[in-house]
Amino acid sequence: MAHINNPMEIYKLLNGSNCRACNEQTCLAFAVAVFKGRKPIGDCPHLEQDVIDRYGGNVEKPNTVDEYKAEAIEKLKQRISSIDLSMAAKRLGAEFSEDTLRIKIFGKSFSVDAKGNLSSEAHINAYMVVPALNYILNGSGKAPQGNWITFRELSGGPPRFAHFQKRCEEPLKRLADTYTDLFKDMLEIFDGKKIDSDFGSDISIVLHPLPLFPIMVCYWRPEEGLESSLHIYFDSSSDDNLDIESNYTMNEGIALMFEKIALRHVT
Ligand code: SF4
């Protein structure tokens, strides 16, 4: 029996055409119905038999969620406890007072104490914690240069590029194709800014996952004979402020977060 952690894992097996042959409005709604056991996966007539065989029984939902990276977080917290947080704040566009570093993550205020504990009124998940602690530990403080480059052009980017496309860009593209509020949500939740990019995209938004680490998300709508596309760009200073693993983790977290938000709208 296949292990399924969330409806998105089923959604990724579907062709995304929203043809409604399964009697659901969208592929996303069908994925949720299968995950909740309301529909058998074989109700989608477009799936290959081997996929139906693999996922045809009741899907098994193992314990999941954010125990993920707990060990990495503990190690980073230990390292934070040995650095001068006031110096790190000066370097990284953060503030420091009462033994606490205050930093904006996606536009929201977070505090980091001398033991590396992150706190905020906003929701905190592991996908943010690891990059934020690495940024505080290793970010050089280099200011953004205003030149956008691809993940592949970052140091250490080429070997991970295919994964980055699959786990970060493609899920967002598929969401943007079907969930029309995606960019509105991104702007609101992450305090982002809509811009006119030089890349001719239909929608371009800039987000600040960390103060000196902006990203730009560009989306091109489908046109006659052409599929839609979505790409995430990075400032050319990115390598100086965040390592490639943290960058990947953060973007994967963004994709997962918006998949969950989109799912809430169809359940
Ligand atoms: S799940 Fe399958 S049948 Fe249902 S809308 Fe998507 S492609 Fe069509």
205-260 pLDDT, tens digit per residue, is 999 999 999 999 999 999 888 999 999 999 999 999 999 989 998 999 889 888 88
Strands 213-220 and 203-210: antiparallel
Percent of the chain with pLDDT over 70: 91
pLDDT in tens, 9-47: 788 888 888 898 998 888 888 888 888 778 888 899 999
Domain 7-54: CATH class, spelled out = mainly alpha
**What amino acid is encoded at 178 in this protein?**
T
The per-residue pLDDT for 63 is 38
Q: How far apart (Å, rounded) are the C-alpha atoms in residues 29 and 49? A: 21
Cα(252) to ligand 1 centroid in Å equals 25
Domain boundaries for CATH 1.10.15.40 within the chain: 7-54
- Dihedral sign for Cα 231, 236, 238, 239, please: positive
Q: What is the mean pLDDT of residues 166-180?
A: 90
Residue nearest to atom 4 of ligand 1 (CA): 22
Question: Is 161 within 8 Å of 247 (Cβ atoms)?
Answer: no
- Residues ≥6 apart with Cβ < 8 Å to 109: 102, 103, 120, 121, 122
What's the 39 CA to ligand 1 centre distance in angstroms?
12
Give pTM, 2 decimals: 0.73
13 in contact with ligand 1, CB cutoff 6 A: no
**47 touches ligand 1 (CB under 6 Å):** no
